[in-house]
Amino acid sequence: MPPDETPEILLIRQTRPDVAERLSGRFRLHRMEEAPDREAFLDAVGPRIRALAVGAMCPIGAALFDLLPRLEIVASFGVGYDTIDVGEARRRGIVVTHTPDVLSDEVADLAVGLLLATLRRIPQADRYLRAGRWREGSFPLTTSLRERRVGILGLGRIGRAIAQRLEGFGVAIAYHGRTPQADVAYAYHDSLLGLARAVDVLVVAAPGGPGTNGIVDAAVLAALGREGIVVNIARGSVIDEAALVAALTAGTIHGAGLDVFANEPHVPQDLIDLDQTVLLPHVGSGSHYTRAAMARVLGDNLLSWFDGKGPVTPVPETPWSGR
């Protein structure tokens, strides 16, 4: 890079001012959301853009890459990156980074909280009290976490953190993933259907993308049984939402706690109308502490890249071995 050339970065759906504040001291920033005419904007600045800083769940692929011929790196704000075409990025020599580790504990905490809220109907009990119904009689008894068998779909960083927390509740834990992991004592099932048959709580912690799209289907839900509980803090696409609504409506399973949905922020009204669901607006990592840590990692990746040190947390599909 010539010493007088300031790298130019395109910000897409960035919601934290500290990201832009930190980067502005080193780079020239362009904000997609401020452009009244996106096509004209990209025609003007696209040939100069060398990096993207993108918010979570932003679709990034070949069409945008075509407009950014000098693009070197895509820094994503989040651990999941299924909306980024990493295969196309790899073919073009573009590195993709994400923000793993720093949000695992926060999301795992929420997963356990969502499980307890679903089992013990905590939001429903809160509404019962606020509506003045306690004076009419006690809130109905609920199901329990006692003697439950919990299955985790995806024993990655977040899945492991969830399992570690659940150990303290004395429940049996099993998991399904691409391969068994030698360093854990949890029971491994080589199929998702086999896991569902062995447990009555399914916690979804698997990444999104074509390989997991709709894999929690009607057969898996039926295998959980009438006392079954589904908790999803991963990606909404992993669950067949129509099958989930049908299973809840028919009593095939007992309840569901969901932080993610297939078409966010649009949540099926059928799920909203069901009383045995606890629904959250994708807040798994949504604390000031964790979002600030994620912002730091995103910035670290870009600063390290343009310092010639390579990315800090590249995704596995676009590894970097130096230049």
pLDDT, one tens digit per residue, over 259-279 is 999 999 999 999 999 999 999
Where does the pLDDT of residue 17 fall: very low under 50, low under 70, confident under 90, or very high at 90 and above? confident
How large a percentage of the chain has pLDDT more than 70? 98
Angle at the Cα of 157 from the Cα atoms of 156 and 158, rounded to 5 degrees = 95
Q: Alpha-carbon distance 320 to 310, whole Å?
A: 7
Beta carbons of 257 and 113 less than 8 angstroms apart? no
Count of CB atoms within 10 A of residue 170's CB? 10
pLDDT band at 320 (very low <50, low <70, confident <90, very high): confident
User: Looking at per-residue confidence, does 54 or 14 come out higher?
Assistant: 54
Q: Which of 42, 76, 71, 72 shows the shortest CA–CA distance to 59?
A: 76
For position 57, what pLDDT does the model report? 81
C-alpha closest to that of 75 among 314, 269, 271, 307? 314
278 DSSP 8-state letter: E
Predicted local distance difference test score (pLDDT) of residue 3: 47
Across the chain, what does the average pLDDT equal?
95
Q: Kindly list the catalytic residues.
A: 235, 264, 282
Mind listing the domains of the chain with CATH numbers? 8-102+289-306 (3.40.50.720), 104-279 (3.40.50.720)
Q: Please name which of 215, 198, 111, 106 lies closest in space to residue 148, comparing C-alpha atoms.
A: 198
pLDDT, position 15: 65
Question: What CA–CA distance (Å, rounded) separates 42 from 81?
Answer: 23
Structure tokens at 242: 């129509």
pLDDT digits (tens, 9 = 90+) for 70-86: 999 999 999 999 999 99
What is the pLDDT averaged over residues 240-248?
98
Residue 235 DSSP code? -
Sequence letter at residue 322: G
Residues 6+ apart with CB under 8 A from 270: 245, 249
Tokens of 279: 């629904």
pLDDT in tens, 179-230: 999 999 999 999 999 999 999 999 999 999 999 999 999 999 999 999 999 9
Q: What is the DSSP letter of 211?
A: T
18 vs 53: CA distance, rounded Å: 13
